Structure 1
Amino acid sequence: MTVSRRAALFAASGAAVAALVAGCGSSGSSGSGSAASTVPAAPSAPSSGSGTATGSGTGQSTGATVLKTASSAYGTIVTDGNGFTLYRFDHDTASPPASNCNGGCATLWPPVVATGGTPQLKGIDAKLVSTVTRADGTRQVTLNGWPLYRYSQDSKPGDTKGQGFGGIWFVTAPNGSKITAAASPSGGSSGGSSGGGYGY
C-alpha cells in the first residue's frame, strides 16, 4: 500500500470516528438549575407527545399543557392530557427544581414541556405546578418542584412500563411524590425494568 493511500484511509477513518462521537454527544451546556447528562445516548425510541391535550407526538402543539389524575394499579397517578403516565426521576432535585435528564436520557424519557400558556389541571393543585428551565432552554413542567417526564416505551394511555425503571424512575402522585408501592393484584402495566444497561 502506498503512503498516500494509507494517509487517505487514515483520514477517512478519523472523519468517521469524529462523526460518531459528535452524534452520540449529550447536551453540552447546562441551563439554570440543570445539569448536562453524562450517560450514553439511548437507542432510538418512539417519539412521544408533549403532555398536551392536543399533542401530535412530535412535542409540538398549540394547546396548553394538561396534567390530570387517573386511576391505576398503583393508585391515583398523574397523566398528561392524552392519558400517558408521568414520571419523576430520583437524580433530579425539587428544591431547587433541576432537571438532570438530557441527551439520550431525554430521548428515552421525554420531558413534559410547557406549551400554550397556563397549564390546564384536572385534580391537581395549581399551587404545586410550575416550570424549570432545562439545559436546552425549554421550560419543563414541575409538580411540587419535581420535573415531569413521559416514558417513550409506554405505547398506550394507562401504560406504566417505566415504573421502577433502574430503581430511579417512578410514577407520580398528584402531590408530586413518587409512588413506590407494588401494583395492586388487579393488574396493570407494570415496569420495574433494571434499566437495560442505560443508567437513567
Structure 2
Amino acid sequence: MDGSRMAHRRFLLALALVVGLSPAAQADVTMTIFNAGRYGPHLTDEGKHEYYLFTADQQGTSTQLPVSNCYDACAEVWPPVIADDGVKTDGPVDRSLIGRMERRDGSVQLTFNGWPLYRYVKKTGGGGAQTGRESELSGHGKQEFGGTWYLVSPEGMPVSEQ
C-alpha cells in the first residue's frame, strides 16, 4: 500500500475513533474457538482476536436482560463488540448461546451465554493503541473499571488458566 493510501486509512480510523465508532464495530461478526496453551479453548473472531466478558456486567438469563456496565473510559479500553448485522460461526460455536442487547446509546452489542462481549485495546506508552494478539491476551484476568475481565469459554463462562 502506498504512503498516501496508508495515510488515508489512518485518517479514517482516527476519525472513527473521534466520532465514537469502535474498531470492534462490524457489519458481520464471526465467532470461532481458538485453543491457546495455558488458557485453553476460548472465543475469538476469524482473526483470532479474543472476546472478553466483564464480571461487573449483569449476565442475561431467561428472566433478566443482560446489562453492560462498561461505558466512556471503560469502553475506550474495552470496546464492546457491536453487531448490527449477522453473526457467523466457524467451528463448534454453540449458536444457541449467541444473543444481542441494546446499549444505552442505542447500539447493539453481541452477547454470549448472556454476557455482553468486548475486545481489549492496550494503550501503549506513546498514546497509541496496540491491538495485536500479544496485547489482547494480556487483558485476561485484568481487574479494572470495577470488575475482572476474562476470556470467554465455549460454554460462555470465564476461562481459567489451565
Query: Is structure 2 residue 98 aligned with structure 1 residue 150?
Result: no
2:156 counterpart residue number: 176
Query: Is structure 2 residue 65 aligned with structure 1 residue 65?
Result: no
Q: Which has the higher contact order (CA 8 A, sep 6+)?
A: 2
Task: State the alpha-carbon separation in 1 of the partners of residues 66 and 23 from structure 2.
Answer: 22
Q: Is the 8 A contact 1:102 1:135 kept in 2?
A: no
1:131 counterpart residue number: 100
1:187 counterpart residue number: none
Task: State the alpha-carbon separation in 2 of the partners of residues 130 and 144 from structure 1.
Answer: 8
Among 161, 174, 181, the residue aligned to 2:138: 161
Output aligned runs, 1:1-200, within 5 Å: 49-50=23-24, 59=25, 61-62=26-27, 64-73=28-37, 74-95=39-60, 96-115=65-84, 117-122=85-90, 123-153=92-122, 155-157=131-133, 159-166=136-143, 168-181=148-161
Q: CA deviation at 1:48?
A: 6.2
Q: How high is the sequence identity, in percent, across the aligned residues?
A: 32
What secondary structure is seen at the aligned counterpart in 2 of 1:93? coil
Q: Quick one: which amino acid aligns to residue 119 of structure 1?
A: V
Extract unaligned runs of 5+ from structure 1.
1-46, 51-58, 183-200
Structure showing greater radius of gyration is 1
Question: Could you give the per-residue CA deviations for residues 177-197 of structure 1, whole angstroms, max 9, x where no partner exists?
Answer: 001225xxxxxxxxxxxxxxx
Deviation above 2 Å: which 4+ runs of structure 1? none
Q: CA deviation at 1:169?
A: 0.6
Task: State the alpha-carbon separation in 2 of the partners of residues 83 and 49 from structure 1.
Answer: 15
Q: Is the 8 A contact 1:113 1:141 kept in 2?
A: yes
Extract unaligned runs of 5+ from structure 2.
1-20, 123-129
Question: Could you give the per-residue CA deviations for residues 16-40 of structure 1, whole angstroms, max 9, x where no partner exists?
Answer: xxxxxxxxxxxxxxxxxxxxxxxxx
Superposed CA RMSD in Å reads: 1.9
Task: State the alpha-carbon separation in 1 of the partners of residues 87 and 99 from structure 2.
Answer: 9
Q: CA deviation at 1:49?
A: 3.2
Q: Quick one: which amino acid aligns to residue 44 of structure 2?
A: T
- Determine which structure has the larger strand proportion and give its number: 2
Count of residue pairs brought into register by the alignment: 125
Task: State the alpha-carbon separation in 2 of the partners of residues 165 and 69 from structure 1.
Answer: 21
Structure 1-normalised TM-score? 0.58
Q: Quick one: which amino acid aligns to residue 113 of structure 1?
A: I
